[in-house]
Amino acid sequence: MTQSFYESVLQRIDATAERVKLNQGVHNILRQPERELTVAIPVVMDDGDIKVFTGYRVQHSSVRGPCKGGIRYHPDTNLDEVRALATLMTLKCAVANVPYGGAKGGVRCDPSKLSKTELQRLTKRYTAMILPIIGPRHDIPAPDVNTNAETMGWVMDAVSMYEGQTVLDIVTGKPIDLGGSVGRREATGRGVMLNTMEILKRLKKNPKDTKIAIQGFGNVGSVAAELLEKQGCRIVAVSDVSGGLYSPDGIDVKKLIDFVYGSQKRRLLQNYDGYEKINNEELLELDVDVLIPAALENQITSDNVDKIKAEIIVEGANGPVTKNADDVLAEKGITIVPDILANSGGVIVSYFEWVQSIQSFFWDIDEVNKNLKKILIKSFNEVWEIKEKEKVTMRDAAFMLSIRKIAKAIELRGIFP
């Protein structure tokens, strides 16, 4: 039986706590969120019926700064998942050394079955329901799975209506015309690219000889694919919820992006002709140099870990490898760039956007990308240094780095009252 996402995260925290000889009291603090909110969201549908959706907002830690984390819309979203994601956000912010703690939100729904007006009503009512615990100095939401800049614009509008003034810094990932930051949409995928190039350099691999498979062709996967192709890598397989495409000679990523995103309604990869059709399981098991799981959590588990052939895994998604599978991959000598490092580009540029919103002074794309690369490479180097010094995996090193930073902050602040 596959362990739950949250259990997997807690196991990693427990293992790290033992490794760094963490104070038991601090360990206890890290094992549970500061605050959890479950809300009922009534929405008037287009046909006049009322449906009630379930939403969540979990704040894991505010010890290093305001809580920060995305909002996802998915039919399988649940409290366990949101807890796990909020916890990982705390660790991710610490690895990147941005002054945030972790939070996450979710609404259990299938956005593909809702009209745009229904999604807008759902978003604004959900925002109203979590309003008591969010705020520019408390908890700043952002996009996640099945949400985007437009969704964040609706969140900002709902809060602004309650406040009676425009509140730019309540949310990040907003549309550019509503105070969003250039480069924010591409930030997570760009971060995945930068981490991939850095690990190839460390392992002395030529990008031009590197075959890459990417599970997930959403915002993260498609941007990472396009940027890695520009770096000379060969993208041989991609997939989305409908299945995948495979070509040993390489896929034309630009053409595929135009196909999927070039019309009003997003199109599925399985409807694209020209490449071999595969499923998501087959993509994960391809004989490639780099595998980038950029979809959802728990994709590589005890059930399929023995079939993984990639030499390097760069985690574009949060928690795509379970703890049990992670141990097996480490034994096999597979290098994993962990999620709390690999996909931290999004929260880093969210921080930039928040700063810009507070100041009402906005940067150009060169400044955003320059600062993103500077922070990411610094974080990568810190993780790599611990990995080499302590003789541990990159995931263990990233967890050690983040937990030490959080523990230090708790020590310095003391326990209230």
Which residues are tagged catalytic? Answer: 104
Alpha carbon distance 216, 192 (integer Å): 13
Residue 380, Cβ density class (10 Å: 0-12 exposed, 13-18 middle, ≥19 buried): buried
Alpha carbon distance 189, 153 (integer Å): 21
CA 116 to chain centre: 24
- What is the β-pairing status of strands 101-108 and 50-59? antiparallel
Q: How many CA atoms are closer than 13 Å to the CA of 55, on its beta-carbon side?
A: 26
Q: Is 119 helix (H, G, I), strand (E, B) or coil?
A: helix
Closest CA to 184 of 89, 266, 70: 70
Report CA Rg, the chain.
20
**Cβ(175)–Cβ(154) under 8 Å?**
no
Instruction: Determine the straight-line distance between the first and last CA of the chain, rounded to whole angstroms.
Output: 42
Alpha carbon distance 219, 114 (integer Å): 20
DSSP 179: T
H-run or E-run covering 341: helix 339-342
DSSP 169: G
Sequence-ordered list of residues with C-beta below 8 angstroms from that of 36, at least 6 positions apart, any chain: 56, 57, 58, 59, 79, 83
Alpha carbon distance 144, 121 (integer Å): 18
Which amino acid is located at 321 in the chain?
Answer: V
Alpha carbon distance 412, 67 (integer Å): 18
Angle between helix axes 394-413 and 5-19 (nearest 10 degrees) is 80
Alpha carbon distance 42, 45 (integer Å): 9
Preceding amide of 417 cis, omega within 30 = yes
**Cβ(188)–Cβ(223) under 8 Å?**
yes
Alpha carbon distance 72, 329 (integer Å): 29
